[in-house]
Amino acid sequence: MKTLIFIICFFMSLFAVAKNEDDLPKLNSFIDEALESNSVNKHIVAGLISKSYDLSYKNEQLYKKALKLDPSNILLLEQLVQHCHNEDGESFCNQEKYLKKLQGLDSNNGLPFLLASLYYSKKGNSSKALKLLKIGASKNNFDAYNWKNFELTRKELSRTKFPQDEVLVVAVKNAQVGDFATNVLAEAMNLCVDKSKENNSWKNTCIDYGELMEIHSNMMLSTFVGFAIQREIYKNQEQDSVYLEKVLHRRDVFHQFRLRVVESLSWASMLGFENEVPNIFWKELLHYGERVAYQKALDRSSAKGNDN
Protein backbone atom coordinates (compact mmCIF):
# COMPACT_ATOMS: atom_id res chain seq x y z
CA MET A 1 0.00 0.00 0.00
CA LYS A 2 2.73 2.47 0.96
CA THR A 3 4.63 1.88 -2.29
CA LEU A 4 1.44 2.38 -4.29
CA ILE A 5 0.71 5.65 -2.49
CA PHE A 6 4.25 6.86 -3.15
CA ILE A 7 4.03 6.09 -6.87
CA ILE A 8 0.59 7.66 -7.30
CA CYS A 9 1.51 10.87 -5.52
CA PHE A 10 4.93 11.18 -7.10
CA PHE A 11 3.46 11.29 -10.59
CA MET A 12 0.91 13.88 -9.55
CA SER A 13 3.63 16.51 -9.59
CA LEU A 14 3.41 18.65 -12.71
CA PHE A 15 7.09 19.50 -12.61
CA ALA A 16 9.86 16.99 -13.24
CA VAL A 17 13.16 18.54 -14.30
CA ALA A 18 15.87 16.28 -15.66
CA LYS A 19 19.42 16.47 -14.39
CA ASN A 20 21.76 17.97 -17.00
CA GLU A 21 25.37 16.87 -16.52
CA ASP A 22 26.59 19.93 -18.48
CA ASP A 23 25.24 22.19 -15.72
CA LEU A 24 27.24 20.60 -12.91
CA PRO A 25 30.47 22.68 -13.25
CA LYS A 26 28.43 25.90 -13.17
CA LEU A 27 26.39 24.68 -10.22
CA ASN A 28 29.53 23.68 -8.32
CA SER A 29 31.03 27.07 -9.07
CA PHE A 30 27.95 28.86 -7.72
CA ILE A 31 27.99 26.77 -4.53
CA ASP A 32 31.69 27.43 -3.97
CA GLU A 33 31.14 31.17 -4.35
CA ALA A 34 28.06 31.06 -2.13
CA LEU A 35 29.87 29.29 0.68
CA GLU A 36 32.55 31.96 0.66
CA SER A 37 29.98 34.75 0.90
CA ASN A 38 28.20 36.24 3.90
CA SER A 39 24.78 35.96 2.30
CA VAL A 40 22.46 33.51 4.04
CA ASN A 41 20.25 33.48 0.93
CA LYS A 42 23.14 32.24 -1.19
CA HIS A 43 23.85 29.56 1.42
CA ILE A 44 20.21 28.43 1.34
CA VAL A 45 20.25 28.18 -2.45
CA ALA A 46 23.60 26.36 -2.32
CA GLY A 47 22.09 23.80 0.06
CA LEU A 48 19.06 23.34 -2.18
CA ILE A 49 21.20 22.87 -5.28
CA SER A 50 23.50 20.41 -3.53
CA LYS A 51 20.52 18.27 -2.49
CA SER A 52 18.54 18.70 -5.71
CA TYR A 53 21.45 17.66 -7.92
CA ASP A 54 23.01 15.22 -5.41
CA LEU A 55 26.34 17.04 -5.33
CA SER A 56 29.14 15.97 -2.99
CA TYR A 57 29.39 18.80 -0.46
CA LYS A 58 29.86 18.20 3.25
CA ASN A 59 26.76 19.24 5.16
CA GLU A 60 28.87 21.21 7.65
CA GLN A 61 30.01 23.36 4.73
CA LEU A 62 26.45 24.03 3.70
CA TYR A 63 24.86 24.79 7.05
CA LYS A 64 27.18 25.83 9.87
CA LYS A 65 28.06 29.24 8.50
CA ALA A 66 24.47 29.82 7.37
CA LEU A 67 23.27 29.24 10.94
CA LYS A 68 25.68 31.88 12.20
CA LEU A 69 24.58 34.35 9.53
CA ASP A 70 20.83 34.07 10.22
CA PRO A 71 19.65 31.41 12.70
CA SER A 72 16.04 32.58 12.37
CA ASN A 73 15.64 32.32 8.61
CA ILE A 74 12.47 30.34 7.84
CA LEU A 75 13.74 28.70 4.65
CA LEU A 76 17.02 27.75 6.29
CA LEU A 77 15.25 26.28 9.32
CA GLU A 78 12.89 24.24 7.16
CA GLN A 79 15.79 22.95 5.08
CA LEU A 80 17.66 21.95 8.23
CA VAL A 81 14.61 20.23 9.72
CA GLN A 82 14.07 18.25 6.53
CA HIS A 83 17.74 17.28 6.33
CA CYS A 84 18.11 16.40 10.01
CA HIS A 85 14.92 14.35 9.94
CA ASN A 86 16.78 11.81 7.80
CA GLU A 87 20.36 12.54 8.98
CA ASP A 88 20.04 13.16 12.70
CA GLY A 89 23.69 12.39 13.49
CA GLU A 90 25.05 15.66 12.09
CA SER A 91 26.82 17.88 14.63
CA PHE A 92 24.64 20.90 13.78
CA CYS A 93 21.32 19.02 14.01
CA ASN A 94 19.14 20.35 16.80
CA GLN A 95 15.69 19.57 15.51
CA GLU A 96 13.70 20.55 18.59
CA LYS A 97 15.29 24.00 18.58
CA TYR A 98 14.73 24.48 14.84
CA LEU A 99 11.14 23.24 15.04
CA LYS A 100 10.20 25.57 17.91
CA LYS A 101 11.70 28.53 16.05
CA LEU A 102 9.88 27.61 12.86
CA GLN A 103 6.54 27.28 14.67
CA GLY A 104 7.01 30.72 16.21
CA LEU A 105 8.16 32.42 13.02
CA ASP A 106 5.46 30.92 10.78
CA SER A 107 2.68 30.31 13.28
CA ASN A 108 -0.20 30.58 10.78
CA ASN A 109 1.20 27.81 8.57
CA GLY A 110 0.26 24.19 9.24
CA LEU A 111 3.56 22.82 7.92
CA PRO A 112 5.86 23.57 10.91
CA PHE A 113 3.44 21.73 13.19
CA LEU A 114 3.32 18.77 10.83
CA LEU A 115 7.13 18.64 10.83
CA ALA A 116 7.13 18.74 14.63
CA SER A 117 4.46 16.02 14.78
CA LEU A 118 6.58 13.75 12.59
CA TYR A 119 9.63 14.43 14.73
CA TYR A 120 7.93 13.48 18.01
CA SER A 121 6.21 10.49 16.43
CA LYS A 122 9.61 9.24 15.29
CA LYS A 123 10.84 9.72 18.87
CA GLY A 124 7.93 7.61 20.15
CA ASN A 125 6.03 10.49 21.77
CA SER A 126 2.65 9.84 20.17
CA SER A 127 0.63 12.13 22.44
CA LYS A 128 2.80 15.16 21.69
CA ALA A 129 2.80 14.28 17.99
CA LEU A 130 -1.01 14.25 18.00
CA LYS A 131 -1.22 17.52 19.93
CA LEU A 132 1.02 19.29 17.43
CA LEU A 133 -0.85 17.86 14.45
CA LYS A 134 -4.12 19.16 15.95
CA ILE A 135 -2.60 22.63 16.19
CA GLY A 136 -1.43 22.40 12.59
CA ALA A 137 -4.86 21.25 11.40
CA SER A 138 -6.43 24.36 12.96
CA LYS A 139 -4.42 26.73 10.75
CA ASN A 140 -5.74 28.37 7.58
CA ASN A 141 -2.61 28.00 5.49
CA PHE A 142 -0.40 25.18 4.22
CA ASP A 143 2.80 26.38 2.61
CA ALA A 144 5.57 23.85 1.99
CA TYR A 145 7.93 26.70 0.94
CA ASN A 146 8.53 25.15 -2.49
CA TRP A 147 7.71 28.31 -4.38
CA LYS A 148 9.55 30.50 -1.90
CA ASN A 149 12.61 28.33 -2.61
CA PHE A 150 11.94 28.73 -6.33
CA GLU A 151 11.83 32.53 -6.12
CA LEU A 152 14.90 32.73 -3.89
CA THR A 153 16.88 30.49 -6.27
CA ARG A 154 15.85 32.55 -9.27
CA LYS A 155 16.79 35.79 -7.52
CA GLU A 156 20.20 34.63 -6.29
CA LEU A 157 21.25 32.94 -9.53
CA SER A 158 20.20 36.01 -11.51
CA ARG A 159 22.53 38.15 -9.40
CA THR A 160 25.54 36.08 -10.44
CA LYS A 161 27.07 35.23 -13.81
CA PHE A 162 24.91 32.12 -14.04
CA PRO A 163 23.52 31.75 -17.61
CA GLN A 164 20.11 33.40 -17.70
CA ASP A 165 18.57 30.71 -19.91
CA GLU A 166 19.39 28.13 -17.23
CA VAL A 167 18.27 30.07 -14.16
CA LEU A 168 14.66 28.91 -14.37
CA VAL A 169 15.69 25.30 -14.97
CA VAL A 170 17.62 25.22 -11.68
CA ALA A 171 14.95 27.24 -9.84
CA VAL A 172 12.22 24.79 -10.82
CA LYS A 173 14.46 21.88 -9.86
CA ASN A 174 15.00 23.45 -6.43
CA ALA A 175 11.25 23.81 -5.98
CA GLN A 176 10.63 20.11 -6.44
CA VAL A 177 9.77 17.45 -3.94
CA GLY A 178 12.59 15.15 -5.06
CA ASP A 179 12.30 11.57 -3.82
CA PHE A 180 8.71 11.51 -2.64
CA ALA A 181 9.26 8.28 -0.71
CA THR A 182 11.43 10.18 1.81
CA ASN A 183 9.42 13.40 1.73
CA VAL A 184 7.55 14.63 4.80
CA LEU A 185 4.27 14.60 2.85
CA ALA A 186 4.66 10.87 2.27
CA GLU A 187 5.54 10.36 5.92
CA ALA A 188 2.51 12.35 7.01
CA MET A 189 0.27 10.22 4.83
CA ASN A 190 1.66 6.96 6.18
CA LEU A 191 1.58 8.19 9.79
CA CYS A 192 -2.08 9.18 9.52
CA VAL A 193 -3.11 5.95 7.81
CA ASP A 194 -1.34 3.90 10.46
CA LYS A 195 -2.43 5.85 13.56
CA SER A 196 -6.04 6.32 12.43
CA LYS A 197 -6.87 2.63 12.14
CA GLU A 198 -7.66 2.19 15.82
CA ASN A 199 -7.59 5.71 17.26
CA ASN A 200 -10.44 8.16 16.65
CA SER A 201 -8.44 11.15 17.91
CA TRP A 202 -5.80 10.52 15.28
CA LYS A 203 -8.48 9.76 12.71
CA ASN A 204 -10.34 13.04 13.23
CA THR A 205 -7.18 15.11 13.42
CA CYS A 206 -5.72 13.57 10.27
CA ILE A 207 -8.96 14.15 8.37
CA ASP A 208 -8.90 17.80 9.48
CA TYR A 209 -5.28 18.07 8.37
CA GLY A 210 -6.09 16.44 5.04
CA GLU A 211 -8.84 19.02 4.53
CA LEU A 212 -6.39 21.80 5.37
CA MET A 213 -4.05 20.55 2.65
CA GLU A 214 -6.90 20.07 0.19
CA ILE A 215 -8.32 23.55 0.62
CA HIS A 216 -5.45 25.80 1.67
CA SER A 217 -2.32 24.37 0.03
CA ASN A 218 -0.49 26.56 -2.49
CA MET A 219 0.98 23.50 -4.22
CA MET A 220 -0.95 20.97 -6.28
CA LEU A 221 0.98 17.97 -4.99
CA SER A 222 0.10 18.92 -1.41
CA THR A 223 -3.54 19.16 -2.43
CA PHE A 224 -3.45 15.62 -3.82
CA VAL A 225 -1.77 14.38 -0.65
CA GLY A 226 -4.57 16.00 1.35
CA PHE A 227 -7.07 14.02 -0.70
CA ALA A 228 -5.02 10.85 -0.26
CA ILE A 229 -4.91 11.18 3.53
CA GLN A 230 -8.68 11.50 3.71
CA ARG A 231 -9.27 8.73 1.18
CA GLU A 232 -7.04 6.18 2.91
CA ILE A 233 -8.53 6.92 6.34
CA TYR A 234 -12.13 6.69 5.15
CA LYS A 235 -11.33 3.40 3.42
CA ASN A 236 -10.50 1.85 6.80
CA GLN A 237 -14.11 1.71 8.02
CA GLU A 238 -17.24 0.71 6.13
CA GLN A 239 -19.43 3.29 7.91
CA ASP A 240 -17.36 6.05 6.32
CA SER A 241 -18.31 5.04 2.76
CA VAL A 242 -20.39 8.19 2.16
CA TYR A 243 -17.48 10.42 3.21
CA LEU A 244 -15.15 8.36 1.05
CA GLU A 245 -17.35 8.86 -2.01
CA LYS A 246 -17.40 12.62 -1.43
CA VAL A 247 -13.60 12.76 -1.17
CA LEU A 248 -13.20 10.62 -4.29
CA HIS A 249 -15.55 12.92 -6.18
CA ARG A 250 -13.68 16.07 -5.14
CA ARG A 251 -10.36 14.44 -5.99
CA ASP A 252 -11.64 13.38 -9.42
CA VAL A 253 -12.78 16.93 -10.18
CA PHE A 254 -9.34 18.23 -9.20
CA HIS A 255 -7.63 15.49 -11.22
CA GLN A 256 -9.64 16.45 -14.29
CA PHE A 257 -8.51 20.03 -13.78
CA ARG A 258 -4.89 18.84 -13.66
CA LEU A 259 -5.36 16.83 -16.88
CA ARG A 260 -6.86 19.88 -18.56
CA VAL A 261 -3.81 21.90 -17.52
CA VAL A 262 -1.40 19.36 -19.01
CA GLU A 263 -3.39 18.98 -22.21
CA SER A 264 -4.01 22.69 -22.78
CA LEU A 265 -0.71 24.30 -21.72
CA SER A 266 2.26 22.98 -23.67
CA TRP A 267 4.73 24.25 -21.06
CA ALA A 268 2.93 22.87 -18.00
CA SER A 269 5.20 19.82 -17.60
CA MET A 270 8.31 22.07 -17.45
CA LEU A 271 10.26 19.30 -19.21
CA GLY A 272 12.59 21.58 -21.11
CA PHE A 273 9.96 24.33 -21.39
CA GLU A 274 10.93 26.34 -18.29
CA ASN A 275 11.92 29.41 -20.30
CA GLU A 276 8.72 29.31 -22.36
CA VAL A 277 6.50 29.81 -19.32
CA PRO A 278 4.81 33.27 -19.48
CA ASN A 279 6.23 35.66 -16.90
CA ILE A 280 2.75 36.44 -15.66
CA PHE A 281 2.35 32.80 -14.62
CA TRP A 282 5.34 32.99 -12.24
CA LYS A 283 3.96 36.19 -10.70
CA GLU A 284 0.53 34.66 -10.20
CA LEU A 285 2.04 31.41 -8.92
CA LEU A 286 3.90 33.21 -6.16
CA HIS A 287 0.92 35.41 -5.31
CA TYR A 288 -1.97 32.94 -5.54
CA GLY A 289 -0.44 29.44 -5.56
CA GLU A 290 -0.52 26.79 -8.28
CA ARG A 291 -4.25 26.15 -8.49
CA VAL A 292 -5.27 29.74 -9.20
CA ALA A 293 -2.22 30.44 -11.37
CA TYR A 294 -3.02 27.50 -13.63
CA GLN A 295 -6.69 28.42 -13.79
CA LYS A 296 -5.79 31.92 -14.88
CA ALA A 297 -3.40 30.49 -17.47
CA LEU A 298 -6.18 28.23 -18.76
CA ASP A 299 -8.56 31.19 -18.96
CA ARG A 300 -6.03 33.16 -21.01
CA SER A 301 -5.45 30.17 -23.27
CA SER A 302 -9.19 29.73 -23.84
CA ALA A 303 -9.67 33.43 -24.54
CA LYS A 304 -6.80 33.37 -27.04
CA GLY A 305 -8.29 30.31 -28.74
CA ASN A 306 -11.66 32.01 -29.03
CA ASP A 307 -10.07 35.10 -30.56
CA ASN A 308 -8.39 32.94 -33.19
Q: Could you write out the DSSP letters of every residue in 176-212? A: S---GGGSHHHHHHHHHHHHHTS-HHHHHHHHHHHHH
Which residue in 297, 298, 290 sits closest to 12, CA to CA?
A: 290
CA distance 96 to 85: 11
117-167 pLDDT, tens per residue? Answer: 999 999 999 999 999 999 999 999 999 999 999 999 999 999 998 998 899
The predicted structure's pLDDT at residue 63? 93
CATH number, domain of 70, equals 1.25.40
The residues with which 217 forms a beta bridge, in sequence order, are 142
Q: Is 241 part of a structural domain of the chain?
A: no
Q: Is 188 part of a structural domain of the chain?
A: no
261-291 pLDDT, tens per residue? Answer: 999 999 998 878 888 999 999 999 999 999 9
Q: Is 291 part of a structural domain of the chain?
A: no
Q: Is 222 part of a structural domain of the chain?
A: no
Q: Is 196 part of a structural domain of the chain?
A: no
The predicted structure's pLDDT at residue 24? 86
By residue range, what is the domain housing residue 34?
2-181
Number of domains, the chain: 1
240-264 pLDDT, tens per residue? Answer: 999 999 999 999 999 999 999 999 9
Q: Is 228 part of a structural domain of the chain?
A: no
Higher pLDDT, 108 or 19: 108
Q: Against a cut of 0.85, is the pTM above it?
A: yes
What's the pLDDT band for 3 if we cut at 50, 70, 90?
Answer: very low
Q: Is 11 part of a structural domain of the chain?
A: yes
CA distance 215 to 142: 9
Number of other residues whose CB lies within 10 A of the CB of residue 190: 17
> Quick check: 308 pLDDT over 60?
no
Q: Is 276 part of a structural domain of the chain?
A: no
